[in-house]
Structure 1
């Protein structure tokens, strides 16, 4: 009996699936970044254009990491929407 597309997915090893292969580097880099962030617990002075604030370094790094994740999310979403328009 011929295999259907869903049967093929069931027999594909988990780590060789394309979605998992794309997500694994993100997970690894995020884990390393979060360990780095939470190891830096000292307070620092940060200048935000005009005001100067004192806050824990891990907070500033966590904000920068979150903004980077948002930028990545928007970039990936725009790229996938653009790709769907060209495939019509």
Structure 2
């Protein structure tokens, strides 16, 4: 007896595929870059002064780097969603 499959070749019942199908080269590259970015951010923990237009703010460097990373990710997500 064989399992029923849909016309996409997947088994019926919500089968989503193997890890190899999900882990494409692009996703692997992004995952490696995220891990390296987090290592870089958390290795730089000293306090620094940052100028935001007029005021000068003293904050941990890791927090400033993490904030810029989040802003960059949001901008990238916005541009990618507009392409579709």
TM category (shorter chain) comes to 0.7 to 0.9
Task: List per-residue Cα deviations over 1:30-61 (Å, max 9, x = no partner).
Answer: 01000100110000000001000000000000
TM-score (norm 2): 0.75
Structure 1's unaligned 5+ residue stretches are: 81-88
In structure 1, the partner of 2:9 is: 6
* 1:33 and 2:37 correspond: yes
**Separation (CA, whole Å) in 2 of partners of 1:54 and 1:23:** 35
Structure 2's unaligned 5+ residue stretches are: none
In structure 2, the partner of 1:86 is: none
In structure 2, the partner of 1:59 is: 63
TM-score (norm 1): 0.72
Higher helix share: 1
**Separation (CA, whole Å) in 2 of partners of 1:53 and 1:43:** 10
RMSD across aligned positions (CA):
2.2
Name the count of aligned residue pairs. Answer: 75
Task: List per-residue Cα deviations over 1:55-84 (Å, max 9, x = no partner).
Answer: 00000000000001101111111112xxxx
